[in-house]
A and B are shown apart, each in its own frame.
Chain A
Amino acid sequence: MRLLTSISVTALLVASSGTSFAADDMASNMTLVSWGGAYQASQTAAYAEPYKKMHPDVTITWDESSNEAVAKLRAMNEANNVTWDLVDVVAADALRLCDEGLAMEIDPDEMLEAAPDGTSAEDDFGDLLVSDCFIPQIVYSTTFGYRTDMVPEGVSAPDDICDVFDVETYPGKRSLEKRPINNMEWALLCDGVAKDDVYDVLATPEGQQQALDKLATIKDDVIWWSAGADTPQLLADGEVFMGSTYNGRLFSAIVEQDQPIAMLWDAQVFDLDGWIIPAGLPEDRLARVKDFLRFATDTQRLADQAKYISYGPARASSAPLVGKHAELGIDMAPHMPTDPKNSKNTFLYNYEFWADYRDDIDAKFQAWLAQ
Chain B
Amino acid sequence: MNELIVNIKRPNLLTFTMPIVAVLGAMFGFVTGNIFGDPFIGAVGGAVVGAVLALALAKIVSIKRWKKIWGVAVVFAVVAALFGGVGGFLGGFVVGLSMGWFATWVGTGKYRAGVPIYYTPGQVLWHCTFLFICAFVFFFLIAPLIPVVWLSFNAENFFTFTPEMLSFKSAGYSLKHYRDFLGTDEWMVPLKNSLIIAPIATLISVSLGTLAAIGLSQSHVPGRQVMMAILISPMIVPLIISATGMFFFYAPLGNWLQLNLGLNQAFVGYVKVILAHAVLGIPFVIITVTATLVGFDSSLTRAAANMGADPVTTFFRVQMPLILPGVISGGLFAFITSFDEVVVVLFVGSARQQTLPWQMYTGLREQISPTILAAATILVSVSILLLATVELLRRRSERLRGMSPG
Q: Which residues of A contact B (CB under 8 A)?
A: 3, 6-7, 10-11, 14-15, 17-19, 29, 31, 33, 35-38, 61-65, 67, 75, 78-81, 83-84, 227-230, 232-233, 236-237, 256-257, 259
A3 B267 Cβ-Cβ under 8 A: no
Neighbouring A residues of B267 by C-beta, 8 Å: 11, 14-15, 18
A38 contacts B254, CB within 8 Å? no
Verify if B389 is at the interface (C-beta below 8 Å from A). no
Cβ B368 vs Cβ A233 within 8 A: yes
Inter-chain contact A61/B158, CB cutoff 8 Å: no
Complex Cα distance, B267 from A7, in Å, reads: 13
Which residues on the A side are within 8 Å of B264 (C-beta)? 15, 18-19
Taken residue by residue from 179 to 214, chain B's Cβ proximity to chain A (1 for < 8 Å, 0 otherwise) reads as 000000010000000001000100110010000000
Closest chain A residue to B206 by CB distance?
A: A3
Looking at the assembled complex, report how far the CB atom of A309 sits from the nearest CB atom of chain B, in whole angstroms. 13
Bound-state CA distance A7–B367 (Å) is: 37
Given contacts A232-B158, A256-B157, 11 further A-B contacts (CB under 8 A): A3-B203, A14-B266, A62-B351, A64-B363, A75-B247, A81-B254, A84-B351, A227-B365, A232-B368, A233-B159, A257-B157
Closest chain B residue to A34, Cβ basis: B366
Shortest Cβ distance from B165 into chain A, in angstroms? Answer: 13
- Asked if A79 and B366 sit within 8 Å, CB to CB, the answer is no
| Contact-residue bracket for chain B | 35 or more
Q: How far is the CA of A248 from the CA of B369 in the complex (A)?
A: 16
Please name all residues of chain B whose beta carbon is closer than 8 Å to the beta carbon of A7 when the two chains form the complex. Answer: 200, 203-204
Which listed residue (B158, B251, B365) contacts A80, Cβ 8 A? B251
Could you jot down 12 A-B contacts, CB within 8 Å? Answer: A14-B267, A18-B266, A29-B265, A31-B352, A37-B367, A61-B351, A63-B350, A64-B362, A79-B248, A236-B156, A236-B158, A257-B158
Asked whether B383 is an interface residue with its Cβ less than 8 Å from the other chain, the reply is: no
Chain A, residue nearest B352 (CB): A61
CA–CA, A14 and B272, complex, Å: 13
Minimal beta-carbon separation of B238 from chain A (angstroms): 18
Chain A hits for B251, CB < 8 A: 79-81
State which of A17, A31, A67 has its C-beta within 8 Å of the C-beta of B366: A67
The 5 closest A-B pairs by CB, nearest first: A36-B366, A63-B351, A79-B251, A83-B350, A37-B367
- B265: which A residues are within 8 A, CB to CB? 18, 29, 83
Alpha-carbon separation in the docked complex, A168 to B251 (Å): 56
A29 touches B266 (CB 8 A): yes
Closest Cβ–Cβ distance, residue A278 to chain B (whole Å): 12
Q: Is B252 close to A, CB under 8 A?
A: yes
Residue of A nearest to B162 (CB): A236
- Shortest beta-carbon distance, B203 to chain A, in Å? 6
Q: What is the bound-complex CA distance between A81 and B158, given in angstroms?
A: 37
Is A14 a contact of B247 with CB atoms below 8 Å? no
Inter-chain contact A36/B367, CB cutoff 8 Å: yes
A60 to B254, CA, bound (A): 21
- Which residue of chain B has its CB nearest to the CB of A38? B367
B255–A81 contact, CB under 8 A?
Answer: yes
Q: Which of B's residues lie within 8 Å of A, judged by CB?
A: 156-160, 186, 196, 200, 203-204, 207, 247-248, 251-252, 254-255, 263-267, 269-271, 350-352, 354, 362-363, 365-369
Chain B residues with CB under 8 Å of A11's CB are 267, 270-271
**Shortest Cβ gap from A164 to chain B (Å):** 23
The residue among B156, B254, B271, B350 with the most chain A CB atoms within 10 A of its own CB is: B350
Whole-angstrom CA separation of A79 from B203 in the bound complex: 29
Q: CB distance A257 to B156 under 8 Å? A: yes
**Given A18-B267, A63-B354, A81-B254, are A37 and B157 also a contact pair (CB < 8 Å)?**
no
Q: How far is the CA of A232 from the CA of B266 in the complex (A)?
A: 36
How far is B364's CA from A67's CA once the two chains are assembled, in angstroms? 13
Rounded to whole angstroms, the CA-CA distance of A31 and B49 in the bound complex is: 64
Nearest-neighbour CB distance to chain A for B254, whole angstroms, equals: 6
Q: How far is the CB of A140 from chain B (nearest CB, A)?
A: 15
Write out the residue numbers on chain B whose beta carbons fall within 8 Å of the beta carbon of A78.
Answer: 248
Please report the C-alpha to C-alpha distance between residue A81 and residue B267 in the assembled complex, in whole angstroms.
14
A258 to B, closest residue via Cβ = B156
CA distance A10 to B199 in the complex (A): 11
User: Which residues in A have their C-beta under 8 angstroms from that of B369?
Assistant: 37
Residue on B nearest A238 in the bound complex, by CB: B160
Residues on B with C-beta less than 8 A from A64 are 362-363, 366
Q: Find out whether the CB atom of B247 lies under 8 angstroms from the CB atom of A228.
A: no
| Complex CA–CA separation, A29 to B362 (angstroms) | 22
Query: Contact at B350–A31, with CB atoms within 8 Å?
Result: yes
State how many angstroms separate the Cβ of A174 from the closest Cβ of chain B.
19
Q: B266 to chain A: which residues have CB within 8 Å?
A: 14-15, 17-18, 29
Give min CB distance, A150 to chain B, whole Å: 15
CA distance A209 to B204 in the complex (A): 57
Which of B159, B267, B354, B367: most chain A Cβ within 10 A?
B367
Residues in chain B near residue A65, CB distance under 8 A: 351, 362
Q: How far is the CB of B405 from chain A (nearest CB, A)?
A: 38
B270 proximity list for chain A (CB < 8 A): 11, 14
CA distance A38 to B367 in the complex (A): 8
Partner of B269, one of A10, A83, A257: A83
Report the nearest A residue to B270, measured CB to CB.
Answer: A14
Greatest chain A CB density within 10 A among B252, B255, B264 is at: B264
Task: Name the residue among B186, B196, B351 with the largest chain A CB count within 10 angstroms.
Answer: B351
A222 to chain B, nearest CB (A): 19
* Chain B residues positioned under 8 Å from A232 (CB to CB): 158, 368
